Structure formats: C-alpha cells, structure tokens
Chain A
C-alpha cells in the first residue's frame, strides 16, 4: 500500500487524464474540462507534498520517491497548473477542438512526474517519451498557424533523433555493464574506470538529454519552436519539461560517479561555457519576445550546467534553487505573452513592437513582465538575483574561474536584451496596438496567476530564506 501511496501524485494525474478523456467523449465543454484538470492537478500537488512523509522510498526497481523527486514533482505540477490556467484563457477564442489540450497537458505532466522519480534507464526512457509525445501535439495545437505546425514537426523530428541517441547510449552502457538501474550502473562504471565504450555511452546520453535541455550545440530547434508554438505550450516546454529533464540528469550524475571522469567532466564544462555565451549572444538582436526567451533559456541552462559540472559543495542546492527561480520567472514571462495573445486569434502577439508602450495601457501587466525581465537578468529585489548569486557562489567555491568569468560575461551581455525588452514596454506608443489583453484580464484566472507569480518572484527576492530552507531539505534526502 505504501508504494502506491508514494506514487499517488502520478496516479492522480493519470486518473485525471482518464476522467478528462471520458468527459470529452461524453460532452465537449471547455470550462468543465479545464476545471476538472485544475482540480486533478491540485489534488496531485497536495498529494505530492504529503508524500514527503513517506520519503525516501524505493518503489519497484524503476522509481524512487525522495526529496529530489518531490522537489521536481512540485515544480512540474505548479508549472502545469499555470499552463492549464493560461491555456484556458488562450484557447477561448480558438476554433475547433479545445478540450484535448488539457488531455495532452496531463499526459505530459504525468511523464514529467515519472521522469523525476526514475532510477532506472527503462523508466527514464519511457517517461521521457511520455513527456515528449504529448508535447508534439501541444506545440502544433493551433495547426492552422504555419508557425505552430512547423514548430510541432520540427520538435518531433529532432526529438526523435535525440531519443535515438539516448537509446544508443543506453544500449552501449548496458552492453558493457549489464546494468540498467542508476545505482548498479554507477557501481559498474566506477569499477570499470575510463573505458571508451562507457564514455561513448555516457556521451551519447548527454547528447540526448542535452537536446531536451537545449544545450549548445543541440539548441537549434529552440528558437523556432518557441516562436512558432502557441504560448501556453511553449510555456510548458520551457518550464515543466526542462525541469523534469534537468532533475533526472542531476540524479544520473549523482548516482554515476563515472560522470566525474575527467574527460566527460571537461566536456560538460565546455558545453556549459559555450551555452552561456552563445545563448546570450544569439539573443541580442532578436525581434521576437518568445524567440528571445528561447535563447535566454538556453543561457540559463548554461548557468545551471555550471552547478552540474561542479557537482560538489553547494552544487545540488544551487541547481535546485536556480530551477525554482527559473520556473517562476519563465512562467511569469510566458504568462504575460499568453495573456496578451488571448484569446487566440492568429499568431501570438510576441513581436517586440507589440509591446511598445504597453505600460501606458496595462501598467500592472507591464509591471509583471518588468519584474520577470529583471529576474531573468538577475537584478536584486527579484528571485533571479538569488539564483545568480548561488551560481556565482558555487563557481567561486570550487575556484572554477573560467566558468565564473563566463557567468559574469554572459550576464553582462544578457542585460542588453533584457533591458531592450523592458524599455520597449515603457516607450511612447506609436499608435499601433493591434493586440491587447482583454480589459478584465486581472480578474481572470490567468491574470491572477501571473500577478501571483510576480508577487512571489519579488517576495523570494527580498526574503529568500524559506525557499533556501525548502530546497536544502529536499536536497538532503
């Protein structure tokens, strides 16, 4: 009974997905579907928090419920909740079926929750696919838009290729060690030393996971997919999906000491270095906010990789904390884009000129986006500052001066484009305001979500102690 209880969040999400499916079959009703989804996700979130009293617990050889998985699960569920709420606002104007979006969202969330608790390559693979498959559909959900269709297809093809790399890597590891579970794999890797096949296997897995995290040079899909896909789907891709993959990579690196192999280690360090700089440099001249956020997320995962590369001292805490700030900030930033593009009517309002002078029309919505931009740039009074502080701290602690230098340089470059977005919001209007949020946006659920996120980002920036304690507690088990 206890193992089932420990998996109750996953079971609840899956059950919600089935209920939603049956409801759609019985009667199409947008509001009803959305409400059911949100109720189910909230129940799962409560369950995810309650599971803490059972952790740590191994559930079958495939899953492990511990601090890390609860941490990832909470973040994924929060992100999914936000995506469901934002999706409701967005899809109200959509033609054609709207209800299946929630079905796909729930399936992807289930994949994410399973992924963060995997401790076996088999469960890693199937939950990663469960996470990715619904995303193809979500990204191309507004398939009448050329961009959305392109985004969906592009993500599908490249994701399949990345899965192939991942499988090949797993196969190599299995062929050499005969283990598929992380712990056994770690032990075998440690005793085998620097065997070439094993390194190749690990390297191929890094390629596969690096694709999902859009690490340079596997990032090429990111800007196009972010730009073309409908905003709520892009939100999910940028937040929940990346959290899940990063958490499992963290678990993999922690349990497989071969990751500390000098060669693989320097490979990761180089990837982190290149990702930070390339992500920020490529974002400089973007004219599209979603595209810019895509490049910015590449840069942020470069910062996160720094924590993974160092993997000692404050590293796990740093990765966790940075993920929290990243998720909150990304949800907020995409949330504003979604609200401005809601209800759906043609391509999203994400060109920078759509945002010109927004402050004088929608001061509070602009304040939210400003806070998010400041947080992404890591300016004090926002949660992003605490994250940036941690990243620099972990680099200084390990005396990795090259990585610290890249973090500093990357942040300095990054300021330029975040400031560009920010100042655009406040510039005088040129008289072209084609797209705008509905006037009562703040009273709607989506508006409440972004306002709450902004408040949270500021609150955690000023008083981060509870967040730090929570992350430490989760990282400790």
Chain B
C-alpha cells in the first residue's frame, strides 16, 4: 500500500497547491515543499527498513515490495506496482530533485504559482509511477501522462529563447517527439501482448508473463522489431543522438525547475526503461543490437561534447553535455556486465546531481544578470559571493574529477565494458578530453576574464546556500563512498546481467493469482 501512496502523494499535493493559491502566494510553495519532503521521507523510510542487498541472481525478479489490484480485467491489465533496489534509488532521486525543484523556483516563479506547482508535482507523480509500474499498460500510462504537465511547464513558464525560438515551439517539439515514440512503444507492447494471447489464449500485460512469452514464443525477427519499438521510445527520451532534437530547445526554454526535472529524472526514466524492460524482455535481440547501441553511445558522447563546446547559452551547453553523459549510460547498459550496470546506476545519480546543480546555477545567474548568454558574462568571480566556488565544484563533477560521483560512475562503466568492448572504451575515453574542454569553457567565460561591470551582484541567500551545499555534499558523498548505493542496486543489476548472459531461458515464474 505504501507504493500506492508514493504515487498518490504528489498528485494530491498538486491539487492542494492549485487550490491553495487563493490563500496567498506562499502557501502553494510550502505545500509543495511539504509534499516532496513527505515523499522523500517515505522513500528513505522504505530504504531504511528494507533489505536490498540480498536475494541476488535467482533468474526471476524478486520484488522487495509489491502491490497489485485489478484494473481492466478485459485485457488482464492490473495496477501492479513493485519495488526493487533500482526503482528505490530512482524514486529517492525523484523525491530529492522534487524538493530541489520546488526550492529553486521559490523566487523564479511569480505568476500562477498554484498551477505551476500542480504541474511540477504531477510530473513527479508520473515519474514515480513510471519507476514503480510493472504492468506494461500501467507503465505506458504513466510514461505518456507525465508529458502533459511537463509540456505546460515549458510552454507557460519557460523563457523565450535568444534565437527566436519560442518556448511554445520547444514544448510542442518535446511533446511530439516523446509522444510519437511512445506510440511506437505501445505498438510493441501490444505486439507482445497479442503474441502472448496467441500462445496462451489469455490477455496479460504483466511483466513476468510477457517476459516468458518474449523469450519463448517470439521469432527472432519479431523480437527484433518489438525490441526496436521499445528502444526508439527510450532512445528519444534519453536522448540518443539522432533522436535528440527536442532536448537542447526544451532545456533552453524551460524554467529552472523544469530543467532540473528534465535532466535529473525524466532522462533517467529512459535508462530505467531500458534496464527494466528493453533488455530483460528481449535479451537476445538486445545482444544482437548491442554493437549499434554502442556506436550510438560513442556518437552521442562526441556529438554532445563537441556541440557543447560551441554553445553560448549556458543552459544549452549543459543540455548538450547531458547528451554526452547519456552516451556513457547507453554504453554501460548495452555492455551488460554487472560492473558496468552498477556504473550506470551511479552515473545516473551523479548526472542528476551535477546537471541539476549546473541548471540551478544557470537559473541563479539568470535571476541576477537576466541573461544566460555567456558572451555577456565574464569576470563574475569577484562580483558574486559564494556562487563561483560552488559552480567550480559542479563543473568539476560534470567533467568527472576523481572524488565526485561522476568519476565513480564513468569509471565503473568503462571498466566494466572494457573486457567485451575494448575499442569502444578506448574511443569513449576520448570524450573526457572534450568534457574537460567544455567544462573549462564554462568557468573561463562566466567567472574569469575581464568583468563587464564592477557593481557587485547579490550573493547567495540562505535558501540557495543550503540547497547548493546539500547537493554538493551528496555529489562528494557518492563520489567518496558509493557503497550504500551499490549495495542497494546490486541485486537488481545482477539480475539484468544474469538475464543477458544466460543462454537458456529461465523457467516461468509461478503466477500469483
């Protein structure tokens, strides 16, 4: 039942925020903050009480917590929620970034505050749903549902771009990209369901049943096409390079909270989807696809990094660097060794921290300078108290300096992939050089060099300091002591590796009625 509450709390909180606007400007903010803190506390409570390090490698998925109820009996669709180490980490991340998103828009959003927080919390609710849903219909339901509030967030509270791109265009592009690719996933899901129906005479959207069908009943060609349907949907959201067109625009136009959500958790839903669905459902097709995915990953690393070097808009730069980082994630996922998969989890967490940190910093600079164009910045080191130092730390994290979480993640991914894919790793490592270049560009152009003006700008206030330092502590903590995270996700990741390397198909797990 706690799983249901994890999903419902943000939705209810969102409605309360909307209605609370009539009691004054501050009340929606406090309600939103309280909601997300409650959510975070619940997840941490679950984490504290559960044991996720054990029950490894039994072939079948073992859920730490599970909840199911009939939904649409006609198609055997259930509200089936389940939690394992991977989803737990992701939901904890969602809760944390939710708190950050609320806090960082405290002053930025001054109009229609209630409705803003309604959208913000509904995105988070949808994302939590994605991380918990185990019924494929339910997963798709949340997957599509979370796009709507994100669309509103970008379209209504976004910034109009510097190059004539309007926020509405960016939002529409985001929506159409993700929705159209989502429909392909729906087609793939239905293909799987009807294959199951042909084999057993029953409709079911359940993860276990469909996994059994996918591995035993499908022709390799069919499995390939269905796998591709899933992959495209996840690749758009991740984003993998030829399908990334929406990301820079969406980030550039989104409000800070939107960028934090987008980079911090929405992109992670894609990696999560690959780990949870695309790979376990179609292990053989995925293995056959791995070389292409690796190629796309390497392409993404370089493409994102090179384009990042050429950006003038700070947020676009960070957005392109996200594409580059997601290339590493893709390589890690498709190399499918336990080490690399563990690296993927750490890298996702690390990227969520560092990218959100950088986006929040861009937002704070924008609040002070009213521009995000780096050509108009420069020499800010002496003009703002506190912020440049923190920015330096996040930039260092983003380029993967040892001691930060990103280093652990990238190191594990490359180390884990080296055995099977030495050349990919060698080439991908070149991405670090480019990462160093664009990271230094940020520092150089924004904080050093001749100052445009001498007037000091406002330093960080208490809210901003606490927020940034907290995030920084987390980056360093995961970087220096990733043990707890690794322990939590180990069982889940071993499972994925197990499925990917096991030649014979696992036995059908017994159905619980």
* Chain A residues engaging chain B, CB cutoff 8 angstroms: 360, 374, 379-381, 385, 389, 392-393, 396-397, 404, 407-409, 411-412, 415-416, 419-420, 423, 426-427, 463-465, 468-469, 472
Enumerate B170-188 residues with CB–CB distance to A below 8 Å: 171-172, 175-176, 179-180, 183-184, 186-187
Distance in Å: Cβ of A429 to nearest Cβ of chain B:
12
Which one of B24-32, B67-75, B90-98, B315-323 is at the A interface? B67-75
Pair B74/A380 contact, Cβ less than 8 Å = no
B168 to A412, Cβ gap below 8 A? no
Question: Given B73, B152, B176, B194, which contacts A426 in the complex, CB threshold below 8 Å?
Answer: B152
Interface status of B141 (Cβ within 8 A of chain A): yes
In the bound assembly, the distance between CA atoms of A412 and B137 in angstroms comes to 19
Q: Does B183 contact A411, Cβ atoms closer than 8 Å?
A: yes
- Tell me whether A380 and B144 are in contact (CB under 8 A): yes
Chain A residues near B112 (CB, 8 Å)?
360
Given A380-B141, A397-B194, also A412-B180 (CB < 8 A): yes
A423 touches B168 (CB 8 A): yes
Nearest A residue to B191, CB-CB:
A396
In the complex, what distance in Å separates the CA atom of A416 from the CA atom of B187? 21
Contacts of B172 in A (CB 8 A): 415-416, 419-420, 423
Contact B74 A472 (CB under 8 A): yes
What are 7 contact pairs spanning A and B, CB under 8 A?
A379-B144, A379-B145, A379-B179, A380-B142, A385-B144, A407-B183, A415-B179
Residues of B within 8 Å of A463, CB to CB, are: 71
Which residues of the other chain, A, contact B155 by a CB distance below 8 angstroms?
423, 426
Contact B186 A381 (CB under 8 A): no
Chain A residues contacting B302 (CB-CB under 8 Å) are none
Smallest distance from the beta carbon of A431 to chain B beta carbons, Å? 16
Residue numbers in B under 8 Å from A408 (CB-CB)? 180, 183-184, 187
**A468 near B175 (CB under 8 angstroms)?**
no
How many chain B residues touch A (CB < 8 A): the figure is 33
Question: Which residues from A are CB-within-8-Å of B176?
Answer: 412, 415-416, 419
- Chain A residues near B190 (CB-CB < 8 A): 392-393, 396-397
Question: Given A419-B172, A465-B74, does the pair A389, B186 have CB atoms closer than 8 Å?
Answer: yes
Q: Which of A392, A426, A469 contacts B183 (CB 8 A)?
A: A392
List A contacts of B184 (CB < 8 A). 408
Cα distance A191–B146 in the bound complex, in angstroms: 54
| Bound Cα distance from A416 to B145, whole angstroms | 17
A-B contact count (CB 8 A): 78
CB neighbors of A among B137-155 (8 A): 137, 140-142, 144-145, 147-148, 151-152, 155
Contacts of A397 in B (CB 8 A): 190, 194
Which residues from 115 to 165 on chain B have a C-beta closer than 8 Å to any C-beta of chain A?
137, 140-142, 144-145, 147-148, 151-152, 155-156
Return the chain A residue nearest B142 by Cβ: A380
Evaluate contact between A415 and B175: CB separation under 8 angstroms: yes
CA distance A407 to B142 in the complex (A): 21
Contact of A419 among B73, B137, B144, B151 (CB under 8 A): B151
- Neighbouring B residues of A423 by C-beta, 8 Å: 155-156, 168, 171-172
Q: How far is the CA of A416 from the CA of B168 in the complex (A)?
A: 11
Query: In the complex the two chains form, is B152's CB within 8 Å of A465's CB?
Result: no
CA of A329 to CA of B452 in the docked complex: distance in angstroms? 56
How far, in angstroms, from A380 to B193 measured CA to CA in the complex? 19
Question: CA A472 – CA B73 in complex, angstroms?
Answer: 13
- B residues 357-395 near A (Cβ < 8 Å) are none
Q: How far is the CB of A233 from chain B (nearest CB, A)?
A: 32
Q: Which residue of A lies closest to B177 (CB)?
A: A412
- Nearest CB in chain A: distance from B195 CB, A: 10
CA distance A426 to B175 in the complex (A): 17
Those 7 A-B pairs whose CB atoms lie nearest each other, nearest first: A412-B180, A396-B190, A380-B145, A408-B183, A380-B141, A468-B74, A380-B144
Chain A contacts of B156 at CB under 8 A?
423, 426-427
Determine how close the nearest CB of chain A comes to the CB of B80; give it in whole angstroms: 15
CB <8 Å contact, A464 and B72: yes
Counting chain A CB atoms within 10 Å of each CB, which of B71, B112, B186, B194 scores highest? Answer: B186
CB distance from A384 to the nearest CB of B (A): 12
What residue of chain B has the Cβ atom nearest to residue A394's Cβ? B190
List residues of chain A with CB within 8 A of the CB of B187: 392, 396, 404, 408
What's the minimum C-beta distance from B455 to chain A, rounded to whole angstroms?
32
A420 to B180 CA separation, bound complex (whole angstroms): 16
Min CB gap B212→A, angstroms: 19
A415 to B141, CA, bound (A): 17
Partner of A469, one of B74, B141, B193: B74
How far does the alpha carbon of A360 sit from the alpha carbon of B194 in the complex, in Å?
A: 46
- B353 to chain A minimum Cβ distance, whole angstroms, is 30
Residues in B whose Cβ lies below 8 Å from that of A360: 112
Chain B residue nearest to A360 in the complex (CB):
B112
The CA of A237 and the CA of B289, in the complex, are separated in Å by 51
- Give B77 Cβ to nearest chain A Cβ, in Å: 9
Contact A392-B186, Cβ < 8 Å, known A423-B168, A465-B73: yes
| Nearest Cβ on chain B to A265's Cβ, whole angstroms | 21
Assembly CA distance A412 to B144 (angstroms): 13
Q: Which A residues are CB-close (under 8 A) to B183? A: 392, 407-408, 411-412
Which of A407, A409, A468 contacts B72 (CB under 8 A)? Answer: A468
**A468 and B172 alpha carbons, distance in the complex (Å):** 32
Chain B neighbourhood of A411, CB < 8 A: 179-180, 183
A412 contacts B186, CB within 8 Å? Answer: no
Interface core residue of B112, B148, B168, B184 (most chain A CB under 10 Å):
B148
List, in ascending order, chain B residues with CB within 8 A of A472's CB: 74
Cα separation A408 to B189 with both chains bound (whole Å)? 14
B184 closest partner in A (C-beta):
A408
Given contacts A411-B183, A472-B74, contact A396 B194 (CB under 8 A): yes
CB-nearest residue of chain B to A398: B194
**Distance to closest chain A CB from B488 (angstroms):** 30
Chain B residues within 8 Å of A389, by CB: 137, 186
Complex CA gap A463/B74 in Å reads 12
Tell me the bound Cα distance from A411 to B181 in angstroms. 11
With A392-B186, A411-B180 given, can you name 4 additional A-B contacts, CB distance below 8 Å?
A: A381-B145, A396-B191, A416-B172, A423-B156
Task: Give the docked Cα–Cα distance between A469 and B156 (Å).
Answer: 40
Q: How far is the CA of A411 from the CA of B178 in the complex (A)?
A: 12
Q: Which residues on the A side are within 8 Å of B179 (C-beta)?
A: 379, 411-412, 415
CA A472 – CA B70 in complex, angstroms? 18
CB distance from B431 to the nearest CB of A (A): 33
**From residue B482, how far is it (CB to closest CB) to chain A in Å?**
36
Cβ distance A209 to chain B, nearest Cβ, rounded Å: 29
- Residue numbers in A under 8 Å from B144 (CB-CB): 379-380, 385
Chain A residues with CB below 8 A from B74, complex form:
465, 468-469, 472
- Give the distance in Å from the alpha carbon of A392 to the alpha carbon of B185 in the complex: 11
B7 → A minimal CB distance (Å): 13
Q: Which residues of A contact B186 (CB under 8 A)?
A: 389, 392
With a cutoff of 8 Å between Cβ atoms, the chain B residues found around residue A469 in the complex are 74
B231 to chain A, nearest CB (A): 16
